[in-house]
Amino acid sequence: MWKKLLITGCMAFCLLGGSALSAQPSCETKEEVTSEQLNRTKKGLDAMMKELKNNSWYQFELNKVASLATSSEQMQAYKSLAGRLISVLEIQAELEWMKPEAIQEALGIMKKSSGFDANLAEKRFNELKSLLSGGFAGIYTGDQQALDKANKALALKRELMLMSPDVNVDKMLTVKFNLGERANFVGAGSLGIQPNNWSNLSSASRKNFKAELVELSGLKSGNLQEKTVYKPAVEGSSVTDLVLNWDGKRLMFTALDTTRRWQVHEINLEGGNARQVTNIPEPDLEFFDATYLPDGRMLAISNIGYQGVPCVNG
């Protein structure tokens, strides 16, 4: 279902953001929406509706669009319908993973942890079960109350899962890649890591990345806030192999040096600047995928051995 939703999401993105639906009259000229654009857009909506478990109401709404007077009005109606379809498809996909038995089992495990608010969890779980008992068939008929209840149920599930003391965090460190419209279909090579499972970072791309280390906060509330922690000094470098120190105050990662070789870097998360940890003056040596050892030392992978075995090309 997630693969279908991803494809549908790409289709919906095209519908909402593509030239067909963004054709708006300017101050000087009025561009008419062509029949070809309308047909292409309708075909996209038809594909989205096939993913709905019940699409009768939306099919009726789609058929009504043909009665509108102008092609511009029809296109705007298609755009509005696409937005509603996206919302329902997302809810439908999330509800497929709504397993009350699994949630109850997880809560039973959480109760064994100190600091877990069992009374609040039981209250929230009973509220969730009450919402689930009524069902959400109305999401397929444009019933806003049903949509609100479904979203409330999904929010309760999220809240319950985040009540575990083991995930009692509100922020995280991650790498942000600015991928533009490619974000829905890129693979490992576009994320600054090795493109397969039999090579290492020395085989990864070294250019054209727009990467930065960021801190995301607001994980519990869902109101995410982003703060840039580090941007590579070398243009186009990736940032990868994140390893947090035991004290949580320092972070190691891999990025390019000024000669575009991979090197291990470290940054003080309490406001310090990043520094290059590995700095051996050999033009063909690289270091990456480092880790902290319990005794304070660091361990990193290097290409110093230059060893290989016959593989893809013999």
Q: What digits encode the pLDDT tens for the residues 167-217?
A: 878 889 999 998 887 777 777 777 878 777 777 888 888 888 999 999 999
Confidence check: pLDDT of 50 > 90: yes
pTM over 0.75: no
Angle between helix 118-134 and helix 100-110 axes, rounded to 10 deg:
180
Residue 170: the pLDDT is 84
Confidence check: pLDDT of 111 > 70: yes
Q: What percent of the chain has pLDDT over 90?
A: 63
Q: What is the mean pLDDT of residues 267-290?
A: 90
DSSP codes of every residue in 174-242: EEEE--GGGTTT--GGGGTS-SSSS--GGGS--SS--EEEEEEE-TTTS--EEEEEE--SSTT---EEE
**H or E element that contains 294:** none
pLDDT confidence of 18, banded at 50, 70, 90? very low
* DSSP label at residue 141: G
| 215 φ, ψ (degrees, to nearest 5) | -105, 125
pLDDT confidence of 22, banded at 50, 70, 90? very low
Task: Give the least confident one: 23-32, 149-158, 224-233.
Answer: 23-32
Rounded to 5°, the CA angle 194-217-246 comes to 60
Structure tokens at 222: 């869902």
Confidence check: pLDDT of 1 > 50: no
Instruction: Output the average pLDDT for the chain.
Output: 86
pLDDT in tens, 206-256: 888 999 999 999 887 778 899 999 999 899 999 999 999 998 899 999 999
Name, in order, each residue with C-beta under 8 angstroms of 98's C-beta and a sequence gap of 6 or more: 132, 153, 154, 157
pLDDT confidence of 3, banded at 50, 70, 90? very low
Residue 201: the pLDDT is 85
Distance between CA atoms of residues 65 and 135, nearest Å:
29
Name, in order, each residue with C-beta under 8 angstroms of 293's C-beta and a sequence gap of 6 or more: 299
Residue 271: the pLDDT is 81
Q: What is the mean pLDDT of residues 37-52?
A: 93
Structure tokens at 117: 């608010």
Domain ranges of the chain: 2-22+32-95, 100-167, 171-302
